[in-house]
């Protein structure tokens, strides 16, 4: 297979993409939503990370996305990285995980290699997609550069060593002088885990709740003043407690499908007034247990 790059522009790019929130193994709602949205043939299908885990059909969901070929443009989320870590013996499965069927599949290695070669950021036509967020000091070029550094490390022969070093909350503040695994860890924390920052862009991981649970002095990463990606539309998932968030330059798509709420997709027309929201209910995909996303 040929790995894509952080800013790969596919042959489908002449059509505005249809972007999906976190699927997390909820295959039935995904298929229902795709049918409801009925995108024109060749429409790029963007996925804001966390394709698998906690939902009841992780393996089938993953196969569906892979079968879409280059039409599917997913970025890696924390659950996708968790799958890789469990497969590598870096982490143990958690209560509520639904990744055993992937790990036990006869073609598990091919599936895991496909996941490992997905990008961590994607930019096209003035729209940037990541799983969780971007730090306020990063413009699009910096975000893509850092994402590509991390992608390259996760595709290298020593990827397991890199992956093992990505866990931890420090450093939590961007410095251009960061090098090595600390630079990669901060990049991974921002792109796949961040929710709250302080005004200086220091990440705070003490809360995964909604806006009213912001730690003292902290705010959503996207509300930090002078955020350098405010001039583009940022598409993200990850934050189920935040819920669907639609602004002209910000589209938060995790509307809690795996928790029995809704799965959301937005047709990303360049003009915000022409964007279309599609949703389906997800009562059948409520997570069995375990922690948050």
Classify residue 129 by burial, with Cβ atoms within 10 Å: 0-12, 13-18, 19+: buried
What pLDDT, on the 0 to 100 scale, is given for residue 288? 55
The full set of domains in the chain, from first to last, is 18-285 (3.60.21.10)
> What does the pLDDT look like over 275-289, one tens digit per residue?
999 999 998 787 654
pLDDT more than 70, % of the chain: 93
Q: Give the separation between CA 287 and CA 257, rounded to whole angstroms.
A: 9
Tell me the C-alpha to C-alpha distance, in Å, between residue 181 and each of 22, 29, 36, 170. Answer: 27, 38, 43, 11
Unique residue bearing structure tokens 């407690």: 241
> What does the pLDDT look like over 212-227, one tens digit per residue?
999 999 999 999 999 9
What pLDDT, on the 0 to 100 scale, is given for residue 10? 42
Residue range 108-117: average pLDDT?
98
How many angstroms from the chain centroid is the CA of residue 49?
3
In sequence order, what are the beta bridge partners of 220?
A: 196
Paired sense of beta strands 18-20 and 45-47, if any: parallel
Residue 133 · residue 236 · CB < 8 Å: yes
Q: Which stretches within the chain are classed as H helix?
A: 27-37, 58-67, 78-87, 100-103, 108-116, 140-154, 159-164, 180-192
Assess whether pLDDT exceeds 70 at residue 157.
Answer: yes
What pLDDT, on the 0 to 100 scale, is given for residue 293? 56
The H or E element containing residue 118 is none
Tell me the C-alpha to C-alpha distance, in Å, between residue 257 and each of 1, 52, 131, 156, 213. Answer: 31, 12, 16, 34, 21
Residue 217's CB is within 10 A of a number of other CB atoms, namely: 12
Give the residue, 96 or 8, on which the prediction is more confident: 96
Task: Identify the sign of the CA torsion 80, 236, 234, 206.
Answer: negative
Average pLDDT, the chain: 93
Question: Sorting pLDDT into bands at 50, 70 and 90, what band is 4?
Answer: very low
Residue range 5-29: average pLDDT?
77
> What does the pLDDT look like over 187-221, one tens digit per residue?
999 999 999 999 999 999 999 999 999 999 999 99
Per DSSP, the three-state class of 121 is: coil
Per DSSP, the three-state class of 223 is: helix
**Of 232, 268, 278, 217, residue with least CA distance to 29:** 278
DSSP state of 171: -
Assess whether pLDDT exceeds 70 at residue 2.
Answer: no
* Dihedral angle over CA of 125, 126, 131, 137, nearest 10: 150
Question: pTM for this structure?
Answer: 0.93
**Of 172, 183, 182, 117, residue with least CA distance to 145:** 183
Classify residue 69 by burial, with Cβ atoms within 10 Å: 0-12, 13-18, 19+: exposed
Task: Considering only CA atoms, give the Rg of the chain.
Answer: 17
What pLDDT, on the 0 to 100 scale, is given for residue 197? 97
Give the residue, 239 or 292, on which the prediction is more confident: 239
Residue range 170-191: average pLDDT?
98
Window from 10-14, 94-98, 179-183 with minimum mean pLDDT: 10-14
């Amino acid at each position: 297979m040929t790995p894509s790059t952080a800013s790969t522009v596919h042959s489908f790019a002449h059509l505005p993409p249809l972007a999906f929130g976190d699927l997390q193994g909820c295959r039935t709602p995904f298929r229902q939503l795709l049918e409801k949205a009925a995108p024109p043939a060749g429409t790029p299908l963007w996925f804001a990370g966390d394709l698998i885990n906690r939902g009841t059909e992780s393996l089938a969901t993953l196969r569906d996305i892979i079968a879409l070929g280059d039409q599917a443009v997913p970025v890696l989320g924390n659950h996708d990285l968790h799958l890789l870590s469990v497969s590598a013996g870096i982490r143990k499965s958690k209560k509520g995980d639904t990744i055993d069927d992937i790990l036990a599949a006869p073609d598990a290695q091919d599936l895991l290699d496909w996941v490992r070669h997905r990008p961590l950021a994607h930019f096209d036509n003035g729209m940037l997609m990541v799983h969780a967020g971007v730090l306020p000091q990063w413009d699009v070029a910096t975000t893509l550069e850092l994402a590509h550094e991390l992608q390259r490390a996760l595709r290298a022969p020593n990827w397991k060593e890199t992956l093992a070093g990505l866990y931890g909350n420090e450093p939590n503040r961007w410095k251009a002088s960061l090098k090595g695994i600390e630079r990669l860890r901060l990049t991974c924390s921002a792109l796949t885990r961040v929710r709250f920052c302080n005004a200086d862009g220091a990440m705070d991981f003490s809360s995964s709740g909604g806006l009213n649970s912001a730690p003292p002095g902290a705010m959503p990463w996207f509300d930090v003043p002078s955020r350098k990606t405010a001039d583009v539309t940022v598409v993200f998932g990850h934050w189920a407690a935040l819920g669907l968030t639609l602004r002209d330059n910000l589209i938060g798509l995790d509307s809690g499908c795996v928790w029995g709420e809704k799965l959301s997709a937005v047709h990303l027309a360049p003009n915000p007034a022409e964007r279309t929201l599609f949703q389906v209910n997800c009562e059948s995909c409520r997570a069995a247990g375990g922690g948050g996303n």
